[in-house]
Amino acid sequence: MKRSGKILPLLLLAGCTHGLPRQVEYTPRQLQDKIRGGWAGQTIGVVFGAPTEFKFTGTTVQDYQPIPWSAHCVKYWWDKKPGLFDDIYNDLTFVESFEQEGLDCSAETLARRFAGPEYHLAHANQAARYNIRSGMMPPASGHWLNNPHADDIDFQIEADFIGLMAPAMLPEAMEIASRVGHIMNSGDGFYGGAFVAGLYSAAFFCDTPARVLDVALEAIPPQSDFYRCIDDVRRLHKRYPKDWQQCWFELHKRWNCDVGCPKGVFLSFNIDAKINSAYVALALLYGEGDFTRSLDIAARCGQDSDCNPSTVGGVLGVMLGYSGIPSFWLDPLKEIEGLDFEGTDVSLEKAYELSYEHATQLIAGAGGSVKAERITIPVRRADVLPLERNFERTHPVCRERKDCWVADSCTFDFTGNGFVIWGNLVKTVSITPDYAARVSMRHIGSEVFGLAEPEDPYVAEFEVWIDGKHDHIARMPMKNTERRLEPAWKYLMPEGPHGVTLKWLNPHRDYLLRVNDIVYYSENPPTDRFYSNLK
């Protein structure tokens, strides 16, 4: 059974200007094949990386350890873990939205459609869903002051559909990315998705992964950390052209530092868009267009090792076309192609059709030609996106382990200009009336835990007081799809000593607030003096 798959030079380019063709031509069948290949490759990649997802953080998956793939593995993961396919069902939510609301629908309409489904979300996606359901629309819903996960990978893993509906149309891809990406991300987190949209779009007319990477990066502001990180991949590839692990190591030394995500700051877990996009770029360059080798490298880079092979597989799926993906990879996918993804009414088979329809509409609207025997797509450079910077003057300086339980209130002090609490609301079993005195800000055994009902209506409300002044009320629904990820945070405060108190306005004996850690920030990088003054 053939496992590889290599890209052949494209022969359908017409003319050239400034390194780009003036237009690209396909038969309808050829364009459909490439769009199908993008969706198929994306889904294959996410399943291939499932066994290693976030099991290798701050390290690679060593060569001696096999990453399995078998005849029925796609269906196995489909039944076992529907949430694994968030890369796909998030994309499809937007595909459905554009189909039903029109290709010119507003960011607010897209945001409401995004926030509606009841499937599981995490990180920037869930933070944005909470914001939107609370009445906060984009771009505020994805801005870092309102979303501690703004630099996370979320838009990056759900931007694939944009390049598939805007084949070879980079300006259109960036415009759609701007409407979608600010729902859940900003800054480098937004650039991660814009970059992926550009990769897919460029894959329709570039004949090497290196060229795809170069074209996609052109729309990212060179002043941004995101650009600098991906550019380092290109530089390191030239220095170590045969050693992807040395490239990985050099990237790790410079860029494996999460600033925003409360789950990752000062820990090995890193869901930041920059480093994970860098692994995508690394796999594309060192894989040299070979489908199998590229997916393997992307997964072995670690961290979000299902999402990164998903992107790589989708980009190469476009370049190869569905018909060019080796049967070793493609055959297991066919078992689920007709099944609807969680929270949607869309299967892969329907996604193939919808993306083709949307692509032909955009092509015609951009001045291209859609005829029965030939589709002609105009190719233009995208303008560089506006510069956005997250977490300015916000340096993480300490992660304080609390590991405590709150039944009424908690207070902490620090010196700096910001904080974020990593914690969550939990359901307990019945305990004695004196539970508050025993558990407030103290560790208790796991025997108090119980399972929350899926539709649990309880919403905890916490007053957040900063320096003796009421700041806001944090609402924390117990229902999973409505949950607030962090109890409280505040950035860009005046540098200096601060006191924070959380007061539970409606405590209930069946619930507790777990406070795991608190990350503190300063407008200055950490120093020994800062640590000595930390309370």
What pLDDT was estimated at residue 453?
Answer: 62
- For residue 213, pLDDT beyond 60: yes
Q: Over the stretch 400-419, which tens digit does the pLDDT of each residue have? A: 999 999 999 999 999 999 99
What pLDDT was estimated at residue 299?
Answer: 96
Amino acid occupying residue 292: T
Question: 3-class SS at 483?
Answer: coil
- What share of the chain in percent tops pLDDT 70? 90
Q: Say which CATH architecture domain 13-378 belongs to.
A: Orthogonal Bundle (1.10)
What pLDDT was estimated at residue 4?
Answer: 56
Q: List, in order, residues 6 or more apart from 59 with CB less than 8 Å away.
A: 302
- The Cα 435–Cα 445 span in angstroms is 12
Domain 395-533: give its CATH code: 2.60.120.260
Read off the tokens for 310: 């998903």
Contact indicator for 127, 154 with CB cutoff of 8 Å:
no
Read off the tokens for 263: 């789950």
Closest CA to 284 of 162, 386, 196, 176: 196
For the segment 365-386, the average pLDDT, to the nearest whole number, is 97
The overall pTM is greater than 0.75: yes
Query: Domain limits of the chain?
Result: 13-378, 395-533
Q: Over the stretch 416-425, which tens digit does the pLDDT of each residue have? A: 999 999 999 9
Contact indicator for 237, 285 with CB cutoff of 8 Å:
yes
Q: Over the stretch 452-489, which tens digit does the pLDDT of each residue have? A: 566 899 999 999 999 999 999 999 999 999 999 999 99
Question: 3-class SS at 218?
Answer: coil
Q: List, in order, residues 6 or more apart from 157 with CB less than 8 Å away.
A: 86, 87, 90, 196, 304, 307, 310, 311
Integer CA distances (angstroms), 448 to 89, 431, 444, 460, 515, in order? 35, 7, 8, 18, 16
Give first-to-last CA distance, the chain, whole Å.
63
φ and ψ at residue 107, rounded to 5 degrees:
-60, -35
CA angle 193/179/212 to nearest 5° reads 35
- The Cα 500–Cα 246 span in angstroms is 44
- For residue 139, pLDDT beyond 80: yes
